[in-house]
Amino acid sequence: MSLKVGELNSNLPQGATDNIAEAWTNHKFDMKLVNPANKRKFDVIVVGTGLAGSSAAATMAELGYNVKVFTYNDSPRRAHSIAAQGGINGAKNYQNDGDSVHRLFYDTVKGGDFRSREANVHRLAEVSVDIIDQATAQGVPFARDYGGLLDNRSFGGAQVSRTFYARGQTGQQLLLGAYSALMRQVGAGTVELHTRTEMLDLVVHDGAARGIVVRDLVTGEVTSHSAHAVVLATGGYGNVYYLSTNAMMCNVTAAWRAHRRGALFANPCYTQIHPTCIPSSDEFQSKLTLMSESLRNDGRIWVPDAFEESRSAADVPESDRDYYLERKYPAFGNLVPRDVASRNAKTVVDQGKGVGPMKNGVYLDFADAIGRLGEDSIREKYGNLFDMYERITGEDPYKQPMRIYPATHYTMGGLWVDYELQSNVPGLFCVGEANFSDHGANRLGASALMQGLADGYFVLPYTIGNYLADQLGDAPMNSNDAAFGAVEAEVQDRTNRWLATNGTKSVDYYHRELGKLVWNYIGMERDENGLEKAISEIPALKAEYYKNVRVLGSGESLNQSLEKAGRVADFFELAELKARDALAREESCGGHFRVEHQDAEGEADRDDENFQHVAAWEWTGEDNVQNRHKEELEFNYVKPSKRSYK
């Protein structure tokens, strides 16, 4: 089945099947180059200023490209990358515990349940070592051991310590490094920074991306911007669930608008549910809070053996406790991958062993670690996380166990990209969590920061030149062209429609109702009956939303209800696609768990014969079922096997 725009070609490098260790090096040599003087002749748009966006923009500007950067935040520093807590992986083997580039490659492919491209993952493992050097040179204050060397800790899905960290605020410190590099280029005049500006559409003309249409969130003005290439670094779509660990402004709109213009959307059903989050406290909560996976290094997860236990944690003796992860997975214990830990937490809570006022959590207990290492040592490692937990819950985790429960955290699906991070739409690139490329069906902890900075600092600056080299001598399309005007008119029409609906219920009401459907039917567990219900009920709720949503205010000023109206409309369309993708994938793998496909022990049952592929969906028009394309996956170095962490 041919595509309307571009082609589905992974563009894997020569040698990827027989010499993967040299594939990226050889590919860099084979790619076309743009010399320093010619780089100044090219304009590049970057949307998003998280780790992937800021690092990409700063690096391309340093190389000489003219870069325009857009963010809906008031500062690049407010990008959601700052919320990452626990650390960043790097195959440095500083602990001399058996780590290597190949082991990080192996762990990532296995952790993703053999649903990622080997070549992309190996490249990620290769450049992980350079990221640590880059960040250290920028002054990122990674933790150090007694001798002054960079320290490491363990994360889920690995039996080595390869995670570099800055207490519980690693994402913030890394973003400050990337932000500093970005603002240096703003000062040098090579980056033009647009804050409080949201991308609302992509302009595609003659089969290639030519620019974007944006709205100024303060004045409401809609304008067009053209460039030789567009880079989306806009994060994931976890807020389709309404309750998630994502910042409340996080959305799918930029990626979804590109999808509607022809970019394929890959594996939307792959969602990561993080096992260590603070449980919700009431039905009207609008945000969930992450507690770093790093806490599983020293915290032990347990529930009471008894159903509906009424005793406090301190009154439950060891003999009446079930350390269920240590019992079921002795080789990895509490550091099993996130999808495994989350499903097991759901199982024990569903059995009636949940803890807390709403019986909707499990315990994460530090009593043993405090007894072994001392409170001061635990405070030094996790002090800011413990303080945050106490401020939110009113409970002192030094004196009693934390209560945790899984919550939506990360999305492995996203825009389909090839080996060079280019979508099927020529000239449209996608980096970081916004693309699908590296994590398969489940991301390992501390790998999101690694991918964002790998894409931005070390991959895209090479690969974008391979595309731009053929554009030398061509000016970017004029933003006054009729093609831009037509898209601007569509954006304005959508804005006017929301303001004119004049219904009775708020955007947040419909977002919450949508989130309930998505969580109930496309959450930690899915089945055919629930997915069929989702495919039926989501469009019905969407139709009501379009008829009955109420957006107050005007389009000529700051109007957060208007901003959210468009974002939630895109979530409705995405949610239906998630359900269709989950229904079509008749297997369990990673974060996609179909209850019909599990083994006798309740573990995921993959179907490699029929589903060892990427599902890439093509937009076919409003209210039409999208076309499902496949990119077959080959494994030549990490042979698919049943994941075991026992």
Distance CA 420, CA 576 (A): 29
Considering the entire predicted model, what is its pTM? 0.97
Distance CA 602, CA 233 (A): 37
pLDDT (tens digit, 9 = 90+) per residue, 405-426?
A: 999 999 999 999 999 999 999 9
Q: What percent of the chain shows pLDDT beyond 70?
A: 100
What average pLDDT does range 387-407 have in this prediction? 97
**Which of the two residues, 65 and 283, has the higher pLDDT score?**
65
Residue 16: pLDDT band by 50, 70, 90 thresholds? confident
Amino acid 1: pLDDT? 61
3-state secondary structure (DSSP) of residue 550: coil
Residue 103: pLDDT band by 50, 70, 90 thresholds? very high
What average pLDDT does range 53-57 have in this prediction? 98
**Strand 66-70 relative to strand 191-194: parallel, antiparallel, unpaired?**
parallel
Residue 561: pLDDT band by 50, 70, 90 thresholds? very high
Distance CA 508, CA 484 (A): 31
Question: DSSP letters of 176-217?
Answer: HHHHHHHHHHHHHTSEEEE-SEEEEEEEEETTEEEEEEEEET
Marked catalytic residue, from 296, 338, 443, 580: 338
Amino acid 53: pLDDT? 98
Burial class (CB in 10 A: 0-12, 13-18, 19+), 229: buried
Q: Does residue 445 have a pLDDT over 70?
A: yes
Q: Encoding tokens for residue 319?
A: 């003999």
Amino acid 446: pLDDT? 95
Distance CA 248, CA 363 (A): 27
- In the chain the domains, ranked by start, together with CATH numbers, are 274-408 (3.90.700.10), 482-608 (1.20.58.100)
DSSP designation for 505: B
Amino acid 538: pLDDT? 98
Q: Do the Cβ atoms of 214 and 195 come closer than 8 Å?
A: no
What average pLDDT does range 393-404 have in this prediction? 97
Amino acid 15: pLDDT? 81
Amino acid 130: pLDDT? 98
Assess whether 215 carries a catalytic annotation: no
What average pLDDT does range 513-525 have in this prediction? 97
Kindly report the backbone phi and psi dihedral angles of residue 469, in degrees, each rounded to the nearest multiple of 5, phi listed first: -55, -35
**Which of the two residues, 419 and 284, has the higher pLDDT score?**
419
Residue-averaged pLDDT of the chain: 96
Q: Encoding tokens for residue 423?
A: 């979508």
Of 520, 591, 571, 578, whose CA–CA distance to 272 is shortest?
Answer: 591
Amino acid 644: pLDDT? 86
pLDDT (tens digit, 9 = 90+) per residue, 624-633?
A: 999 999 999 9
pLDDT (tens digit, 9 = 90+) per residue, 308-322?
A: 899 999 999 999 999
Amino acid 118: pLDDT? 97
Which of 186-195, 274-283, 295-304, 455-464 has the least mean pLDDT?
274-283
pLDDT (tens digit, 9 = 90+) per residue, 211-264?
A: 999 999 999 999 999 999 999 999 999 999 999 999 999 999 999 999 999 999
Of 344, 336, 381, 342, whose CA–CA distance to 158 is shortest?
Answer: 336
